[in-house]
Amino acid sequence: MFENTLIAELATRFGSQVEIALQSGSVTGTLINVSESFVSIVEDSSGYAPATAKFIPVGSIIAIEFFKKI
């Protein structure tokens, strides 16, 4: 039940800067896609490193923080 609510909320926030907490740590980036099983973000990159997409299983998400746009 929680996962359906989470997916519906995230679907309204494409393009938002997020930090997603997982048991193994956290990832920060821009929310680009949401499906029933996965959340996709493009990780923040520094310097000349190419941006990389991460696919995070919805069931592994512990918390999400949204950053305010300045």
pLDDT digits (tens, 9 = 90+) for 19-29: 999 999 999 99
pLDDT at position 63? 94
What mean pLDDT do residues 49-69 have?
A: 89
CATH (residue range 2-66)? 2.30.30.100
Closest to 67 in 3D by CA, of 51, 45, 36, 44: 44
Instruction: Look over the chain and give the mean of its residue pLDDT values, rounded to a whole number.
Output: 90
Query: Each residue of 32-46: pLDDT tens digit?
Result: 999 999 999 998 777
Give domain limits for the chain.
Answer: 2-66
CA dist 24 and 15 (Å) reads: 24
pLDDT at position 69? 67
What mean pLDDT do residues 47-60 have?
A: 88
